[in-house]
Structure 1
């Protein structure tokens, strides 16, 4: 039996979906104070404290597999985002759901405190395009759910998952 090859778009969507799946236990947190020579252990304790103080969650250090900063250190005054990988999806989801408690809260540099899904580069590009479509009035709303799916609300109030920029109206 001869198999027909998948079209390139389908292959790239599949690769992106697999890469996103490998990030399912991870979140990005913006607003945790950065100090020089931070170790992974220090980052874990900062995340635990952030969750306790800002989110009201009793999270133990054992719930976090690893935590570290991402991004370049070019701007010495800017706080870099913390990438956090949780041991269990349940703990990751508890933190993700509690992020609504951060609404309106800002860090010492007057930037919003955020807990974000760890999106792939491609999914971040798709989400940015969806935000642009929202700002131009082509769609009503867009967000990323707990499973890292990008969802849009169309102007007729129907919801739709999008996997590529071409899915946008």
Structure 2
């Protein structure tokens, strides 16, 4: 009976069916595990970005201040605040400042870290006083948030999107919305429901 071809064939089928079922179970379990790990990775990346953004909350990026040989960037920032914005800040209000490596239109921007968030907020709120100069002040966003801001401005228009306290905001109808991810960007076709 053991040598029977029919028995061997049935036995092989049973074994292969069991092996296939076990492999399918294993594959399904691994698929669920991968989905769980992807979800954990998305959450972890979001938390890392939030932590990185928090460390940048006291920073501003200042564009358009011409580079001078032997310059003191703290002094340049204090002069811009005093002369162009009417804000008198002290050297003790600046923790550190320096030029960034990547040139912006040939002029390297300056990144400034303030010792007090209220000073940073005051300067950021008075940035409109720089209109008509080549100087622009922006919040120091993470790469992910900067890309999200760029995408939102591209879809909604540059004047329809702004940052406040390192959050990306827009006005949609009568409501103010915070944009935290791509899915939060309102769609033009939904404008009637705003």
TM-score bucket of the superposed structures, by smaller chain? 0.7 to 0.9
Structure 1 or 2, whichever has the larger Rg, is: 2
Report which structure shows greater RCO (CA 8 Å, sep ≥6): 1
Structure 1: runs of 5+ lacking an equivalent = 108-112
CA–CA separation in structure 1 for the residues paired with 2:162 and 2:180: 13
Partner of 1:106: 133
Q: CA deviation at 1:71?
A: 2.7
- 1:121-144 C-alpha deviation (Å, 9 max, x unpaired): 0000000010011139xxx82110
Partner of 2:156: 134
Cα root mean square deviation, aligned: 2.2
- 1:105-131 C-alpha deviation (Å, 9 max, x unpaired): 223xxxxx2111000100000000100
* 1:58 equivalent in alignment to 2:76: no
Q: CA deviation at 1:44?
A: 0.5
Aligned length: 150
CA–CA separation in structure 1 for the residues paired with 2:142 and 2:149: 10
Contact 1:51 1:57 in 2 (8 A): yes
Structure 2: runs of 5+ lacking an equivalent = 1-35, 187-194
* 1:20 equivalent in alignment to 2:53: yes
Give the counterpart of 2:111 among 75, 79, 83: 83
Contact 1:33 1:79 in 2 (8 A): yes
Give the counterpart of 2:75 among 45, 48, 58: 45
Contact 1:130 1:168 in 2 (8 A): yes
Structure 2 counterparts to residues 86-97 of structure 1, below 5 A: 86-97=114-125
